[in-house]
Structure 1
Amino acid sequence: MTTSSESFHLSSDVQLALLAAPNATDLNTGLDGIRQQLAGAPQPDPLIRIHSAGPGARGHRGALLFDRAKGAVVARESSAQLAASGAIAFMFPGLGDHYLGMGLELHRTLPVFREHFDRCAELLQPELGVDIRTVIHAASSQPTPAPRGGVDLRRMLSRDQREASPEEKRLNETRHAQPALFVIEYALAKQWQAWGVTPASMIGYSVGEYVAACLAGVLSLEDSLTLVARRAQLIETLPAGAMMAIMLSERELVPLLGEHLSLSAVNGPEFCVASGPPEAVDALHIKLRERGVASRRVQSSHAFHSKMMEPIADRMTRLAEGFRRNPPQIPYVSNVTGKPITAAEATDPAYWAKHLCRPVRFADGLEALDARTLLEVGPGQTLSSLVKPGSQRTVIPSMRHAFDPKPDMAVLLGAVSRLWLSGSSVEWERFPEAPLAVSPAAEVAHTTKDESGPRPLSTKTEKELAAIWQTLLKCSVSTADAHFFKLGGNSLVATRLLDRLSRGMRVKLPLRRIYEAPTLEEMAAVIDAQRNPGAAPGPAARPATQAARTPETPLFRLPNGLEVAHQNEAETLHFYDDIFAHRSYVKHGIVIPDGGCVFDVGGNIGLFTVFAHTEAKNVRIFTFEPAPPLFEIIQRNVARHGIRATVFNVGLSNQERQAPFTFYPHSAGMSSFHPDEAEERQNLKTIMENQRRTGDAKVDQIGAHTEELLDVRFSAVHFTAKLRRLSDVIREQKIERIDLMKVDVQKCELEVIEGIDDADWPKFSQIVLEAHDADGRVGKLVELFERRGFSVKAEQDELYVGTNIFNIYAIRKGQ
């Protein structure tokens, strides 16, 4: 798996920096500083950097592409885009823009691209009898130098009479060209996804639709490659054909086609492609020229999407019948209909024969594509050029065409910058972040700090506040950068701090301000600002996302002596009591055998993963957590305790897809794909009341701050998370048995269970599940488990009385 902190190093000298700033002046100053940083750096640092010029710096965006070899800026752009750019669609081109050496620099430079490219090549070799890498990146595959001034117009306009090299001829053979194009587009799509660019929808042109189908889960990668390779081999058994692009509408062209020609594509209102036997295409070309209609032969060995493909249609259907076909998990548009593909179409083996023989209705498909940003994922920019001018869409090609002399990386990074400038809402936190060069003004502002280390306490307010902290936190506080929560503070101590500030310093602060200004320096500045309203204001509030991504996650010592990274002391202790102290699982007959296999679904900070590791010897654990901050904490805890675990930054559901996820940094256990804050607040208030009834003095101390505490606990961060099916993971990991699966997924428990195929149910021995009893869900789950051969018990812990939260314990009968 690719982690969010991966750094990339270059085989080229091109680097990209992205900047966000609150205004145009700061943006331009920041871009100047970045240029100086890149020019002076001794080595090419991370490939992509995100810079921030202060809190709330999202109104203005800039991008700077720098060529270290030349010591010059390749491109510098800026925008004041405030709104997000909306959904992104991937577009996968068909044959015609492929060329020798395509993607060579990407393969050398980008580990993710190279991994998927190489995997495809290895899977294809038995089918092709050749390593496709040696075909695409043959010895003479360095791009033909372009003339001075840039693009080679003679070649682009087909006026170059240069004889194709043997290597080019080899690549142009259908049996090589189609699989080669699939490999390039699939690897590039995976690179974009690794950078957090997630398509909401997709469209492919001809063979490009196979890439879309594969990414949508209709066909597995192995089956997609096999089908594309065998399709190409079948096509090569057919007579040669020709294709021609024609500037006429479908209505005007069809009457001119006659008996032997076919309409192969509708690319625009007055842009179609016809195909058929070469002599018939030549005759049409002469007729069109006489009428003054523009037409041009398309580079092609066969008449794709025409009646010339019909002799192999039945064999294509039989081929598709041999592979498992699934409903699409990411929407994509069909070439055959020009509309979003249906599950029935995608899973019908005859569809792929229709796709082979019928025209590509790409113009209709573009209209049906529900996305404001279109990203072309493949060589060239043919598909980008087909988007109507003035359509209010952002269209971005991401790979150079054969006639473009720019390096692959410069083109790809240019696409990244265009996404950034368009206001894209993709997960930019996956890119490495670098600090912005300090301006002279900033240096003056920071001269009071002790650059040799943390600044000691200096103001009267800081010293007063430190004394209160020391009493509450029972530790020494001697520096201005001391952090309330990293020193052991939690929501309960924070409410006590508010009372101390009110009594001792005559200052009333809302609870949220403690979270927004958690260092002693920041909190003292807030207090000074309230005491002296005319003075400079305190630090701006930290966004919730910053709190969620704090790199130095604090360690917490559990009552049993184990230390874990965590987020919230009250929540951690709650989970500890349930798992370790009360041993709820063990009391209900749940046993983890030595050498067993455990699934922890909804891992949170990983306490159940730690418990399974300590409960039995040599346990193999698979942990699933969709929230990136919690995923990082689990990874730390797994590494810290030497746990034999595989951690997935995904959620589980009944279909593979992307879904919005609401994460509460201060109440992570209630984070959800189905957020209902009113219900969650009521549940938490009920739990707190139950704690109070049982004599929990800590809850009593919260007193009048309950509503404020709930406001803080439900401050939200939003992610787009990946969902996978449980059986798909079981198959990929080659898992033969699951001794115990624990599921705690906040209202998604039924979807998780529905992701288990019939063939995999016998592998499960024990299931422990927290369920929210909406729409009779607990009863449905109990009935389902009993039907699958389990003895089942559903009960409600006394802590949850008055809520809709139940626990279900299922043990396979006969164990």
Structure 2
Amino acid sequence: MTLSNSIVTAPSTQVAQVPQVPLAAAETTPRLPVALMFPGLGDHYLDMGLELYRTQPIFQKNVDLCAELLKPELGVDIRDIIYPNRASSPAPVAPAAPSKGIDLRKMLGRDKSANAEEKNAPIHRTCYTQPALFVVEYALASLWRSWGLRPDAMIGYSLGEYVAACLAGVLSLQDSLTLVARRAALIESLPPGAMLAISLPEIQVLPLLGTHLSLSAINAPELSVVAGPPEEVEALERRLATDGVASRRVKSSHAFHSRMMEPIAEQVTQLAKGYTLKAPRIPYVSNVTGAFITEAEATDPSYFARHLCQPVRFFEGISQLLDGAERILLESGPGQTLSSMVTQHAQTRAKKPVVIASMRHSYDPQSDVAVLHKAVSRLWQGAASLDWDQVPQSALAANDTGPRPEAAAPSDTEDKLGAIWKKTLNLETLDRDVSFFDLGGNSLVATRLIFRISRVFSVKISLRRLYEVPTLADMAKAIDALKSGSEPAKATKPAPSQPGKSALKPRLQLPNGLHVTHQNEAETRHFYSDIFDHRTYAKNGVTIEPGACVFDVGSNIGLFTLFAHTETKGNIRIFAFDPAPPIFEILSRNVAEHGINATLVNCGISNRNAEAQFTFYPRSAGMSSFHPDVAEEKHVLRSIMRNQRQVGMADVVDQVADYTEELLDARFEAVPFTAKLRRLSDVIREYGVEKIDLLKVDVQKCELEVLEGIDDADWSKIRQVVLEAHDVDDRVHTIETLLRRHGFSVKTEHDEMYEGTNIHNIYGVRA
């Protein structure tokens, strides 16, 4: 059955005509082509599109057609799987009104009364899920086609590519349904698997996979999906949580697009060989290559096996669509996941595409018809290339441009919040009644929004609360309630961290061309400027000569160690110390990568051998301390930014600003470690150190304790001392006196960047 005769259309007498005024207006605007997007598994749910089945004749007839074609293959009526209660009396269809928020309890799986039936529904069995999703997406595309939509391009995500292939004429509807059903049965015969979305780019995910995990999808520059055995995925999830990398489980029964699919790959190839495969009549993007599929690929039976096992290159595919002709992207299937990913992908582009979803999430309280009508409205506003004569009058009601009831003027909070939304989502205009998540927001973007809200309004709104009040107007009201104290803040507790387990960290190319692994880009750039550009540690008579021995106490990720290594062209011996396991791991990587002759010690240096609580800030490792003081640290960061602006370093301020405010917002999201403390003289004896050409100390309020851990007999081995001192209880004077007593010429300076703080640099040089 070909595409042209497989889509059931309604008689023209059943279609209401569009008013002439909107038509005349539309004709004055150039029409834009539309690309259809078909989602994969994950957003499916019981009764998806039930209202469309009850109210849209074209949708219903195509669902019925698919169900009849599938009966011999499945042995059941797929309508009984998707719509088990379709015969009951339908509820009245709600008008296309703005959403008032999502059903959070349902989204989180806590609505036990509503979820009990769905949790155990047959639709979640792979052998039914995939045919069911195909049927709904095909029926919705058929509805759009009946309204004159002729896509100029398509992209499907995973199973969604089968819908695109069918609509493009590669497979007939009968063959598509049979192949999807038999493929699903083969997958169900495999061992169960799991999938995990990770906020890391492909290049950083690949080293984490090991033997059993596979890269399953690349959805964005820093959003990948991994699949494999459940226990392996769970172990990786724990490892990522330990290291502070965001991840979330994907709703899935098997490890799709992974090596766990390989046992059935040849069977899928043999299945595809049994069908007539034709060249696509409508261009669509391949998941396998991320480019438009070729005739050779579409007609090669082995392509379907590669599609089964290889990762979905959705990000590359969307780039292919956006880099081509200007077009509207319309998601044709349950949920709005693809729309959200595309919207985020398009943020960096000068011209933003129109991205539209046409079905609701399972936890969205809007009616199916309301969401569909809203999509029609946005297609109208975007000048989509549809046959508006065929679009029902009711669907165009949302385009009414007549006067609306006068709404209350936006509050000051809403105005400020709107500016934050525009910055976060990269938007020029906003509708106060549109959901943040409809505009491309997701959980990771929402985290950035929370930081900015905290910065501007001095309140902490939780991610869960954000989902409860997703529109601009409602979110502003929630912020006002938090400010007045009438609504309790619901802070989230960070996942506990454990030493010794971490994911691959991000990498950065420094201005001098060297690459380093790091924890926070803005912080790393700030420290680089301090060490390499301003050469803070290489002035006031302090030198680092070839053959020197350097003790780097408070090494952090090792930028000073790297500086000393490059200054001496590698002819140096370094002892580097840091107490925080996550930072110590990064230090180890950087030392190994650059071939530095360094002895690394995972401990803090103090005046005693003991264990102590170390407060580690993942977002600001340089401010981590054995003596944390939140108020002082906030003051220091604000002062640095103010001073940089005063001396004309706006570019540096721009780099550090996000880091600083993120730190202030997330200051209490600390990770505690029990760290080992050692006296410096004990280390000197353990390693038989005879001389220390430079002792560099940067240890956040522990500098005096470091010096007190040096025995009198060892002071003569030290030629130079450079340290950062916090002048608490006259500490600077105490350190100056101590150094002079041991024969050092001492100079203390208050760097212009630290004006207004108690931080001083002290330089001690022995004659």
TM-score range, shorter chain: 0.3 to 0.5
Normalising by structure 1, we get a TM-score of 0.44
TM-score, structure 2 length as denominator?
0.46
Larger RCO (CA within 8 A; separation ≥ 6): 2
